[in-house]
Amino acid sequence: MARLPRICLPGIPLHIIQRGNNRQACFASEEDFAAYVYWLSEYSKKFEVDIHAWVLMTNHVHLLATPWSVNGMSSMMQSLGRSYVRYFNFTYQRTGTLWEGRYKSCVVDADNYLLTCMRYIELNPVRANMVKLPEEYRWSSYHANGLGKRIELCTPHDVYKALGVTKSNRTRAYRELFRYHLDSDDLAQVRKAVNQGMALGNERFKQEVERLSGRRVTPHQRGRKPKNREILL
């Protein structure tokens, strides 16, 4: 089956996930995490991509970002990937690929799902039982969004900024969202959308994205299962 082209619409956030090849580690030290963040910051500026949330796990990366040009996200990810792989291979005296093929992405309905997606990303280390609280994990945007730490890489989205009139109000309101984990339905929706390259949003949002992109953003409906075995014979 042919792969659907990625959707990148200027001004609409994208949830990105990139995994290590065969789920192998793509970060082996604190220096590796720092190198990735450095290049992510450099290339996000160069290609005009706002980074709202991220988490760097041992063998994969999640980003929530808004590109401001049609090719901004793909250009950023290609340049970031090349620079980091070159660094990683040189550091560990290895050759070959590091990432598992193409990165996966889905467009995100900011008005209804941006905060859900941010929570999904920043709670990754908690769900993986690496830490008990999101603030205990260093390589995550929670330190900016939830604790108010100034991190140059982080550009707050308007939906996040609407949480409060002051920085203190916003961070306090954001932390309140983390009192409870995402429910199973939210987890399933986020995972399905990004893994299938579809859209995370309501029906109106999906219809608008399809109109703008000319590409479907919902899975094909499967045919009805036969009611009894005789139909199969």
Domains of the chain: 14-201 (3.30.70.1290)
User: Which residues lie closer than 8 Å to 208 by C-beta, 6 or more apart?
Assistant: none
Residue 230 has pLDDT above 60, yes or no: no
pLDDT tens string 155-176: 999 999 999 999 999 999 999 9
**Lowest mean pLDDT across 11-15, 41-45, 107-111, 220-224:** 220-224
Residues 200-228 have a mean pLDDT of: 79
Identify the pLDDT of residue 233.
Answer: 29
Q: Alpha-carbon distance 203 to 113, whole Å?
A: 12
Q: Write down the mean pLDDT value for the chain.
A: 92
Q: How far apart are the first and last CA of the chain?
A: 27
Dihedral pair phi/psi, residue 8, rounded to 5°? -140, 105
Identify the pLDDT of residue 150.
Answer: 95
Residue 225 has pLDDT above 70, yes or no: no
Dihedral pair phi/psi, residue 9, rounded to 5°? -110, 120
Q: Where are the alpha helices (DSSP H) in the chain?
A: 30-46, 72-91, 110-122, 124-127, 142-145, 158-161, 167-177, 184-196, 203-213
Task: Provide the 8-state DSSP code for 65.
Answer: E
pLDDT cut 90: percent of the chain above it? 84
pLDDT tens string 66-102: 999 999 999 999 999 999 999 999 999 999 889 988 8
pTM (two decimals): 0.91
At residue 154 the predicted structure's pLDDT band, cuts being 50, 70 and 90, is: very high
Identify the pLDDT of residue 229.
Answer: 40
Residues 191-201 have a mean pLDDT of: 94
Beta-sheet strand order (sheet of 199-200): 49-56, 60-67, 14-19, 104-108, 199-200
Token representation of residue 205: 């949002």
Residue 232 has pLDDT above 50, yes or no: no
Q: What is the rounded (10 degree) CA torsion for 12, 133, 144, 162? A: 60
Identify the pLDDT of residue 6.
Answer: 86
